[in-house]
Structure 1
C-alpha cells in the first residue's frame, strides 16, 4: 500500500475501536505523525499498532493492557528505531507550510483584485504587495504551525492537570510569537520594497502553487 492507502486503512481500523482504546491510539497517532520519522514508515507502524490493538480488543483487552501505562515511552522507543526524513523529504517537510500559505495568499490577492476591477475600485492599491508581507506570511505560518505541532506532541500523554498548565504556557508562547511577528513586520516594511502584482499574475501564482502542492507534497 502507498501512504494514502495506509492512512485510509488506518481511519477504517479506528472506526472499529472502542472509545477508550481509540483515545489511547489517537494519542499515539499524534505522537508518531508529529515526529520526524519517514512518513511511509510511520504509517506502516501505525497500521501494525492498530491491527495489534484490534486483535487484543477482540480478546477483551484494553490498549493499556497491550501497550502499557506509559505510552509516551513506548512510542518514543518505536520512533527511535524508525528511519528519519532525509534530504529532499526533509526539505519538503520544511517548505510545505510556507508554500501552502503563500499559495492561498495569492488566491485571496487575485480574488480581491478581480472584484476591485469589476466594481471600479482602486485597482492600483489592491495590486501592491509588500515583500515584507510575503516574508511574514511564509515565516509566520511556519513558526506557528510547527509550534502548534510541538505543543500537540508534548501535550499528548499528559494528565488533565498537566495539560492545563501546558495550555497556559503555550498560549503565552503563541502570544509572544505573534507580537514578535508583528514587530518584525513593521521593521521589514520600512526596509523592503513594494511589488505591483496584477490580479491575473496572482491567479497564475496561485495555480502554480496548487500544482506544486500536488507535485511536491502529496503523499504517494
Structure 2
C-alpha cells in the first residue's frame, strides 16, 4: 500500500474511534509523524495501531488499556525501533520546504507583475527581486516549519491546559524568529544585488517549481 493510501485509510479508521480514543491516538500520530523516521514505516505502524485500537474498542477497551498510561514513552520506544530517514530523504525534506516556499513566491510575483501590466503600472519596478528576499523566504520558511514540527512533537502528549500555556510561549518564539529573519533580510538587502525577473519568467519558474515538487518530493 502506498503512503497516500495508508494516510487515507488511517483517516477513515480514525472516524470510527470514540472521542477519548481518538484524542489519545491523535497525539500518537503527531508524535510519530514529526519524528525523523522512515515515512512509509511510520505510516504502516500508525495503521497497525489504529486497527489494533479499533479491535480493542469493539471489545469495550480504551486506548489507555491498549497502549498504557504513558503514551509518550510508548511512542518513543516505537520510534527508537523504526528505521530512520536515510541521508537522501533527510536532504529531500530539508530542500522541500524552501523549494515550495520559493515556488509560490514566484507565483505571487507573476500575479503581481501581470496585474501591474494590465493596470499600466511600472512593470520594471515590480519585476525587481532582491537576492536577500529570496534568501529570506527560503531560510525563514525552513526555520519556521522545522520549529513548528519540533514544538508539535514536544507538545503532543501535554494536557490541554498545559498546551494552552505552551502555545503562548510558542507564539513568542515564532515572533522572535520572524523578527530575527526580518532584521537579517534588511541588513542583507543593503549589500546584495537586485535581479530583474519579468512576470513571464516568474511564471516559468513557478511552473518548473511545481514540476520539481512533483518529481523530487511527491509521496509514492
The TM-score bracket by the shorter chain reads over 0.9
**Cα deviation 1:98-155 (Å, max 9, x = unaligned):** 1110000000100111111111110011100000000000000111111111111111
Q: Name the counterpart of 2:190.
A: 190
* Structure 2 residue 99 is matched with structure 1 residue 95: no
Q: Name the counterpart of 1:104.
A: 104
Q: Name the counterpart of 2:79.
A: 79
* Structure 2 residue 194 is matched with structure 1 residue 155: no
Q: Name the counterpart of 1:132.
A: 132
Alpha-carbon distance between aligned partners in 2 of 1:161 and 1:7, rounded to the nearest angstrom: 29
Report the number of matched residues. 220
Q: Name the counterpart of 2:47.
A: 47
1:195 is paired with a residue whose SS is strand
Q: Name the counterpart of 1:172.
A: 172
* Gap regions ≥5 residues in structure 2: none
* Gap regions ≥5 residues in structure 1: none
1:180-219 equivalent positions in 2, closer than 5 A: 180-219=180-219
Alpha-carbon distance between aligned partners in 2 of 1:93 and 1:196, rounded to the nearest angstrom: 30
Structure 1 segments of 4+ aligned residues over 3 angstroms from their partners: none
Alpha-carbon distance between aligned partners in 2 of 1:122 and 1:92, rounded to the nearest angstrom: 38
Q: Name the counterpart of 2:59.
A: 59
